[in-house]
Amino acid sequence: MHQQNADLVTLLAADLKSNFHLVVLHYQPHLYGFALRQTGNVQDAEEIAQEAFIQAYFAIANYPSQRIKMLVLQPWLYKIALNIFYKRLRQEKLQLIQLDMEEEDGYTQFADEAICQPDYLFERKESRHEVEALLMTLPLQYREAINLYYFAGFSYREIAEMQQLPMGTVKSNLHRGLSLLRKILAMQQKGNRGGAQ
């Protein structure tokens, strides 16, 4: 990954116009997927990814060669996409689904609790789409933390830098988001078992 970034930024520093398409080819699927998980809307995700690449191109065009060579493209592009997402959220009031959950007094235990664990589901390919759909029910700060950590593969430190938050806040958002996902999964499993009786 680091070598690929070094190769790309070296090419960009040498000839931005001729080589920027390589950045788009490499990062477009990841950036689009990230935007889709944030918005839940294909058109919004496409527009956010496209705008991120346009902004990146024009920003790089104004950078001196040495600064271009210092860029770490992936987190920089995700930060641009996040900024666009938040700007659109403020301006257009994107329709985001939020789950209205009532606080429960206790936590229901299941025989196979591993099935209710988001970590477990992230690892199982067939459940990935289910988790992505459930992400849209989470509050934005939790959805974003899970999206960046599990789907985009960023470290706590990288997420903290992108979001300009303390690392403890990032960890807290991730923990709370996973906790909410566990509750949702537990409620779904309880509902599935109740319907089978």
Predicted TM-score (pTM) of this structure: 0.67
Band (118; pLDDT cuts 50, 70, 90): low
DSSP 119-156: HHHHH-HHHHHHHHHHHTTS-HHHHHHHIIIIIS---H
Reported as a single tens digit per residue, the pLDDT across 150-161 is 888 899 999 999
Residue 103 has pLDDT above 80, yes or no: no
Segments making up each domain of the chain, as ranges? 2-92, 113-196
Structure tokens at 54: 């346009």
Q: Name the fold adopted by 2-92.
A: Rna Polymerase Sigma Factor; Chain: A (1.10.1740)
Q: What percent of the chain stands above pLDDT 70? A: 76
Please say whether the dihedral angle defined by the alpha carbons of residues 160, 161, 166 and 168, taken in this order, is positive or negative. positive
Whether 1 and 118 have beta carbons less than 8 Å apart is answered as no
Residue 120 has pLDDT above 90, yes or no: no
**CA–CA dist 148, 78 (Å, integer):** 9
Structure tokens at 65: 């060669």
pLDDT at residue number 193: 62
b/e per residue 90-109 (b: at least 16 CB within 10 A) = eeeebebeeeeeeeeeeeee
Residue 95 has pLDDT above 50, yes or no: no
Q: Which class is domain 113-196?
A: mainly alpha
Reported as a single tens digit per residue, the pLDDT across 169-192 is 999 999 999 888 888 877 777 766
53-67, 90-104, 143-157 — most confident range: 53-67
